[in-house]
């Protein structure tokens, strides 16, 4: 028996993907607690997010913030804060999820204190070391004691890197659990497409396209960002369908800085998770540079076009749910043509929606 479990999160995608694990801990009455590092937002800003997903509060809030000190300063502050809590609480295991600086700090702090580390969503690789996320996931994998691989492919990658077979468990991806559970919460909320996006748009299910672009390598590069927006413009023109783009503050700032725009694209304010999930589920096609959205569309049987040169979710493309196109406008248009013609009959490669149960059972022993 592992004893007390510590769940460490710091970004909203981590909250979403750890929500099934939290719910299992609650349902089983386990001894557990949560640390929120505040990597992107303060806990106070995320409180409504917790309430929306009907999750219990984090016990510790580090409020590190995104700041301007760079990856080293942010990771260092989280490392010190997490270590202090772990020394006080003495958990038997720490669970981290994904590829953020929170994951790196949490795994390092626990490992150096001799506490077991479980890495949820282990074994993902883009093989692009220019991405800080790739460094984080590789390091976390190689200092973890439990590697919860979402797919057999992820397991094989870990074994190929010399990770012991005894440490690797194929659990499925908690994103499946999260989509199933949280879509039910979203549907119970009674929101309509009109209430989400505004009365003037008059959106109908399966009669609009959804776009997201927020990754640093895309929106901080004027040429790449311009290519994405031109591609969206071409798609809107060819298919006479509205393109809805909930715009991250960073993306909006860079659009203004680069003087970018796109005819036929409706830019709306960022959406809360449940509203976005509904908009995503009812879309005809989604164009994105988000790894999580690639997974969610695959699970929801919504075709996806990925605006990146590589992906750590190749399973989505392997089953036919996704196509990788980069940022060239012509290739984005061609990708949309291909995916709009594709039958939505692929099999979800990420599991049966019980990953959270498996992860908790393995962790407690």
- For the purposes of burial, counting CB atoms within 10 Å of the CB of 250, is it exposed (0-12), middle (13-18) or buried (19 or more)? middle
| 257 CB-near residues (< 8 Å, 6+ apart) | none
Assign 62 to helix, strand or coil. coil
The string of DSSP codes covering 90-110 is --SEEEEESSSHHHHHHHHHH
Token pair recorded at residue 360: 């908790």
Q: Is 214 a catalytic residue?
A: yes
Question: Rounded to whole angstroms, how far apart are CA atoms 36 and 55?
Answer: 13
In the set 40, 142, 214, 248, the catalytic residue is: 214
The string of DSSP codes covering 111-158 is HHTT-EEEEETTT-----TTSHHHHHHHHHHHH-SEEEESSHHHHHHH
Residue holding tokens 């795994």? Answer: 107
- Cα 234 to chain center, whole Å? 28
Question: Rounded to whole angstroms, how far apart are CA atoms 166 and 110?
Answer: 20
- Cα 45 to chain center, whole Å? 18
Residue holding tokens 């301007």? Answer: 68
How are beta strands 285-288 and 209-212 bridged, if at all?
Answer: parallel
Question: Rounded to whole angstroms, how far apart are CA atoms 25 and 360?
Answer: 7
Question: Rounded to whole angstroms, how far apart are CA atoms 46 and 41?
Answer: 7
The closest alpha carbon to 252, from 240, 242, 260, 263, belongs to 260
**Starting at the edge strand that comes first in sequence, how are the strands of the sheet with 209-212 ordered?**
265-268, 243-246, 209-212, 285-288, 304-306, 322-324
| 20 close to 110: Cβ distance less than 8 angstroms | no
- The residues carrying an active-site annotation are 214
């Amino acid at each position: 028996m592992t004893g007390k479990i510590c769940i460490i999160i710091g970004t909203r995608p981590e909250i979403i993907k750890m929500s099934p694990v939290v719910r299992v801990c609650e349902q089983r009455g386990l001894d557990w607690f949560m640390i929120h590092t505040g990597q992107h937002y303060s806990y106070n800003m995320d409180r409504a997010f917790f309430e929306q997903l009907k999750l219990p509060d984090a016990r510790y809030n580090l409020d590190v913030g995104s700041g301007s000190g760079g990856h080293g300063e942010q990771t260092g502050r989280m490392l010190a804060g997490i270590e202090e809590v772990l020394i006080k609480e003495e958990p038997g295991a720490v669970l981290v999820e994904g590829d953020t600086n929170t994951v790196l700090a949490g795994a390092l702090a626990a490992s150096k204190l001799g506490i077991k580390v479980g890495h949820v969503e282990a074994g993902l690789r883009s093989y692009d070391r220019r991405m800080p996320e790739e460094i984080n996931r590789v390091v976390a994998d190689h200092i973890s004691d439990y590697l919860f691989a979402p797919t057999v492919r992820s397991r094989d990658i870990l074994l190929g890197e010399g990770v012991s077979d005894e440490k690797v468990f194929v659990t499925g991806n908690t994103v499946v659990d999260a989509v199933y559970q949280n879509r039910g919460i979203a549907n119970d909320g009674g929101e309509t497409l009109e209430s989400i996006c505004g009365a003037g748009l008059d959106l109908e299910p399966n009669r609009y396209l959804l776009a997201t672009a927020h990754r640093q390598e895309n929106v901080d590069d004027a040429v790449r960002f311009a290519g994405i927006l031109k591609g969206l413009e071409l798609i809107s023109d060819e298919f006479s369908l509205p393109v809805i783009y909930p715009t991250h503050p960073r993306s909006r700032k860079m659009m203004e800085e680069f003087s970018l725009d796109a005819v036929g694209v409706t830019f709306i304010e960022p959406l809360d998770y449940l509203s976005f999930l509904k908009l995503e589920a009812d879309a005809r096609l989604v164009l994105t540079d988000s790894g999580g959205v690639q997974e969610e569309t695959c699970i929801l049987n919504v075709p996806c076009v990925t605006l990146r040169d590589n992906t750590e979710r190749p399973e989505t493309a392997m089953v036919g749910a996704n196509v990788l196109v980069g940022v060239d406008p012509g290739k984005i248009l061609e990708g949309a043509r291909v995916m709009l013609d594709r039958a939505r009959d692929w099999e979800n490669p990420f599991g049966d929606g019980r990953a959270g149960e498996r992860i908790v059972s393995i962790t407690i022993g």
